[in-house]
């Protein structure tokens, strides 16, 4: 049985060193903190079952994942392992010659499975209205910024009050490139009014009582709480879902996929093309309107 508590997934010295070196490797690659955490957890799951990294054990691990997790989670774990294999191939090739060019195959998912986990416009508006009505302004603006800027949640926590006046902030993206995140005039004005009412003139916009940025995990947890409280589908209420909703709405209004790729910080436009597909409910509505014969 897979132990799901990362703190209890203690490895032997050799594998602990491998995981530690892999974490350092990911940090040098400027990978996001939540990605590093997810990849580390996947490795600890593997080493909790197998002491050695071999093609046979890796194939068994894939089978175990398929029995224990949903397909999307299985592919996330597989992607983590494959990234680890690339690390071994680059830095430990002599120790693991059998793993050269070896990769686990991801599961093939239905095209609409991704789209079905994106929050609907109706639920997104309902969530904002409920938060506003109950004077949960802090969380109202978290949702507003996520859905109107398309930022990743790790980027959201870096927004400061000072950025509202100029309407944008610049962040270093993967590969050392500068990515500009735009804040609309309407959102800037609304957020500034809220800040002034709180006597807040500088510093992180979404800060804890200590003044430090609120944690990504804290945002994830609270959004799930609100989903249950307001009778929304919890499977679609998570930080990245609002980034996806921004992308879907942008394409419906504008249609410029190249501009959207720039706004989202995608290095390849192919990554952005997924937003051109429809969810199963959207497909049903289209057919209901078209098929009249």
Element (H, E) at 145: helix 137-149
Residue 83 inside a domain? The answer is yes
Residue 193 inside a domain? The answer is yes
Degrees (nearest 5) of the Cα angle 256, 263, 219? 130
Per-residue pLDDT of 47-95, as tens digits, reads: 999 999 999 999 999 999 999 988 878 988 999 999 999 999 988 888 8
The reported pLDDT for the residue numbered 112 is 56
Structure token digits, residue 42: 């996947």
Residue 141: CATH number of its domain:
1.10.443.10
The reported pLDDT for the residue numbered 265 is 83
Do residues 95 and 147 share a domain?
Answer: no
The reported pLDDT for the residue numbered 8 is 46
Note whether 257 and 273 are within 8 A (CB). yes
Residue 1 inside a domain? The answer is no
The structure tokens 């790790």 sit at 154
Do residues 139 and 189 share a domain?
Answer: yes
In 108-220, which ranges are E strands?
A: 168-172, 178-182
Residue 182 inside a domain? The answer is yes
Do residues 278 and 236 share a domain?
Answer: yes
Do residues 97 and 122 share a domain?
Answer: no
The reported pLDDT for the residue numbered 114 is 67
Do residues 221 and 131 share a domain?
Answer: yes
Do residues 78 and 138 share a domain?
Answer: no
Do residues 277 and 245 share a domain?
Answer: yes
Residue 181 inside a domain? The answer is yes
Per-residue pLDDT of 222-233, as tens digits, reads: 999 999 999 998
Residue 33: CATH number of its domain:
1.10.150
Which residues of the chain fall short of a pLDDT of 50? 1, 3-8
Do residues 224 and 204 share a domain?
Answer: yes
Do residues 62 and 145 share a domain?
Answer: no
Residue 249 inside a domain? The answer is yes
Q: Count up the domains in the chain and report the number.
A: 2
Residue that finishes a domain, picked among 75, 93, 109: 109
Residue 68 inside a domain? The answer is yes
Half-sphere exposure of 171 (CA within 13 A, CB side): 21
Residue 143 inside a domain? The answer is yes
Do residues 272 and 152 share a domain?
Answer: yes
Residue 251 φ then ψ, to 5°: -65, -35
- Could you give the CA distance from residue 175 to residue 267 in angstroms, rounded to a whole number? 10
Do residues 103 and 152 share a domain?
Answer: no
Range of the structural domain that residue 146 is part of:
115-290
Do residues 231 and 162 share a domain?
Answer: yes
């Amino acid at each position: 049985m897979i132990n799901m508590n990362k703190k209890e997934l203690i490895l032997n010295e050799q594998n602990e060193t491998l995981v530690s070196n892999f974490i350092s490797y990911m940090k040098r690659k400027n990978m996001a903190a939540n990605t590093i955490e997810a990849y580390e957890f996947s490795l600890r799951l593997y080493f909790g079952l197998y002491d050695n990294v071999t093609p046979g054990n890796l194939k068994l691990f894939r089978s175990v994942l398929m029995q224990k997790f949903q397909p999307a989670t299985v592919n996330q774990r597989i992607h983590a392992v494959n990234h680890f294999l690339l690390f071994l191939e680059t830095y430990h090739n002599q120790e693991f010659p059998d793993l050269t060019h070896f990769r686990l195959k991801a599961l093939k998912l239905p095209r609409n499975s991704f789209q079905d986990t994106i929050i609907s416009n109706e639920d997104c508006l309902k969530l904002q209205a409920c938060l506003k009505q109950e004077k949960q302004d802090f969380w109202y603006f978290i949702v507003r910024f996520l859905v109107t800027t398309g930022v990743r949640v790790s980027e959201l926590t870096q927004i400061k009050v000072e950025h509202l006046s100029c309407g944008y902030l610049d962040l270093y993206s993967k590969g050392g490139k500068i990515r500009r995140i735009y804040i609309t005039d309407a959102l800037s004005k609304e957020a500034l009014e809220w800040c002034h009412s709180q006597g807040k003139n500088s510093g992180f916009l979404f800060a804890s009582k200590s003044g430090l940025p609120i944690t990504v995990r804290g945002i994830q947890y609270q959004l799930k709480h609100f989903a249950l409280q307001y009778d929304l589908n919890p499977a679609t209420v998570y930080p990245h879902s609002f980034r996806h909703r921004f992308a879907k709405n942008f394409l419906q209004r504008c249609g410029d996929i190249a501009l959207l790729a720039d706004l989202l910080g995608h290095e390849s436009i192919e990554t952005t093309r997924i937003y051109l597909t429809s969810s199963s409910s959207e497909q049903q509505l289209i057919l209901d309107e078209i098929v009249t014969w």
